[in-house]
Amino acid sequence: MKYAIIIPDGAADLNLEELGNRTPLAAAKKPHMDWIARHGKCGSVRTIPTGMSCGSDVAILSVLGYDPHRHYTGRAPLEAAAQQLKVGPDDWIFRCNLVTIIDGVMEDYSAGHISTEEAALLIREVNRVLGGRTIQFYPGVSYRHLMTIAQPMAVQTTPPHDIINKKTHGHLPTGEGSAQLRSLMDRSAAVLANHEVNSVRRDLGENPATHIWLWGEGKMPQLPSFKDRFGVQGAAITAVDLVRGLARLIGWEIIDVPGATGYVDTNYAGKGQAAAEALDDVDLVCVHVEAPDEAGHNAAPQDKVKALEQIDRHIVAPLLEKLQSFGEDWRILVTPDHPTPCKVRTHTADPVPFALAGKRVGGGVIDAPFNEESGAAGDLHIEHGHELMEFFLTVR
């Protein structure tokens, strides 16, 4: 058997007036996703367990078949695994965003989606000034970076994308060790203020990186091998360290694609081609695309529609063609990890629609395109998100 999973991050949404009172999934021209829905099953899955944060870390852990209640330790450790950072068992790892804060308001959680090259220069300067024996900063991709700290912590933090256009004062870290975190965030402003990178960005009318923002804390988890659990060897294609880290921790191969950015300008065609080729060597390929999520955070429904159409044309289409070349021994699954509604500009915990087709899947109870409405009307509703993977791989 060959398996393909496509995760359009944050694709699920609400009806929007500017889309004719439709969701982006309903408005997008996506004949191949719709083919999967019509020739297989539609349903819904709750990827965020009750009481847990509405993050991609929790949601994708569920999609990959791992119960977050048992295995989740925080977002930052997963990204550290992607970078293969050497951290001690007692080290705390934090996500470190470069953000734009103006007059105490979170104007931009991504510093204008700063480039990886610019961001690396800034993080290295932050590490030179604020790092030390027990604190280290590590550059990542675009605005997404990491910090490690070797001291006891019991803090609560807030993702910056949850407080867009809000005052930051009431959302700063709290708890044991939080004073040091707040100090680092405050002191970063002086380090970044007059850096050449920010001077150029201001001259170009782009958002400067005014501060670091620390969140997503945790210690490194230990996850059981996916192949040991399911008997299937997998590979992942993604531009996001969170997903790369999860893939590495469960023993999947990671396939790098030039031009994969984690934004709406990502190399969709390159991802689709690499995924199709990977199926010659592995049992399962998983393609994660961050673009719909970024469009949701930016309240840009047209960008979300375009991203979904690109995913359908350049990723789902070649994967379907490749799978069908194996005869009948294949299955395909399309599912967002969580909703990122454009009206809300952050993640929500609502169930998401999914569509799957292939060997022994059978037909559904409806003949409708793939969207939130068909998912809700389908005949398969999975309350515990981590059970979707086992159903997908073992359905009889």
pLDDT digits (tens, 9 = 90+) for 183-241: 999 999 999 999 999 999 999 999 999 999 999 999 998 899 999 999 999 999 999 98
The residue behind tokens 């070649």 is 318
The rounded distance, in Å, linking the Cα atoms of 318 and 273 is 7
Q: Provide the pLDDT for residue 229.
A: 96
pLDDT in tens, 176-195: 999 999 999 999 999 999 99
Q: Provide the pLDDT for residue 396.
A: 66
Indicate if 42 and 113 belong to the same structural domain: no
Q: What is the arithmetic mean of pLDDT over 121-133?
A: 97
DSSP-assigned beta bridge partners for residue 81: none
Indicate if 97 and 205 belong to the same structural domain: yes
Indicate if 247 and 288 belong to the same structural domain: yes
229: its two tokens = 């659990």
DSSP letters for 246-314: HHHHTT-EE---TT--SSTTS-HHHHHHHHHHHTTT-SEEEEEE-HHHHHHHTT-HHHHHHHHHHHIII
Compute the chain's Rg from CA coordinates.
21
pLDDT in tens, 278-306: 999 999 999 999 999 999 999 999 999 99
Indicate if 99 and 185 belong to the same structural domain: yes
Whether the per-residue pLDDT at 111 is higher than 80: the answer is: yes
The rounded distance, in Å, linking the Cα atoms of 236 and 253 is 6
- 373 within a domain of the structure (yes/no): yes
Indicate if 190 and 333 belong to the same structural domain: no
Indicate if 176 and 239 belong to the same structural domain: no
Closest CA to 79 of 284, 216, 223: 216
The residue behind tokens 């945790």 is 218
Indicate if 328 and 383 belong to the same structural domain: yes
Decide: 213 and 235 in contact? Cβ < 8 Å. no
- 127 within a domain of the structure (yes/no): yes
The rounded distance, in Å, linking the Cα atoms of 226 and 219 is 21
Closest CA to 144 of 76, 201, 210, 200: 76
The rounded distance, in Å, linking the Cα atoms of 212 and 312 is 36
Q: Which of 189, 218, 247 is the last residue of a domain?
A: 218
- 76 within a domain of the structure (yes/no): no
Indicate if 242 and 371 belong to the same structural domain: yes
Whether the per-residue pLDDT at 362 is higher than 90: the answer is: no
Task: For residue 381, name the pLDDT band (cuts at 50, 70, 90).
Answer: very high
391: its two tokens = 């159903």
CATH of the domain at 42: 3.40.720.10
- 77 within a domain of the structure (yes/no): no
DSSP strand pairing (2-8 vs 284-289): parallel
Indicate if 331 and 352 belong to the same structural domain: yes
Whether the per-residue pLDDT at 366 is higher than 90: the answer is: no
- 75 within a domain of the structure (yes/no): no
DSSP strand pairing (92-102 vs 144-149): antiparallel
Instruction: Give the largest CA-CA distance in the chain.
Output: 62
Indicate if 268 and 346 belong to the same structural domain: yes
Q: Provide the pLDDT for residue 395.
A: 80
- 299 within a domain of the structure (yes/no): yes
pLDDT in tens, 244-277: 999 999 999 999 999 998 889 999 999 999 999 9
- Report the domain count for the chain: 2
- 55 within a domain of the structure (yes/no): yes
Q: Provide the pLDDT for residue 29.
A: 98
The pLDDT mean for the chain works out to 96
pLDDT in tens, 2-47: 999 999 999 999 999 999 999 999 999 999 999 999 999 999 999 9
Continuous segment of H or E residues that includes residue 84 = none
DSSP-assigned beta bridge partners for residue 333: 5, 356
Share of the chain above pLDDT 90, in %: 92
Q: Which of 218, 238, 258 is the last residue of a domain?
A: 218
Indicate if 46 and 96 belong to the same structural domain: no
Q: Provide the pLDDT for residue 41.
A: 94
Q: Provide the pLDDT for residue 365.
A: 79
Whether the per-residue pLDDT at 331 is higher than 70: the answer is: yes
Q: What is the arithmetic mean of pLDDT over 62-86?
A: 94
Q: Which of 201, 218, 235 is the last residue of a domain?
A: 218
Indicate if 59 and 185 belong to the same structural domain: no
Residue 274: give the domain boundaries.
2-70+223-394
220: its two tokens = 């490194």
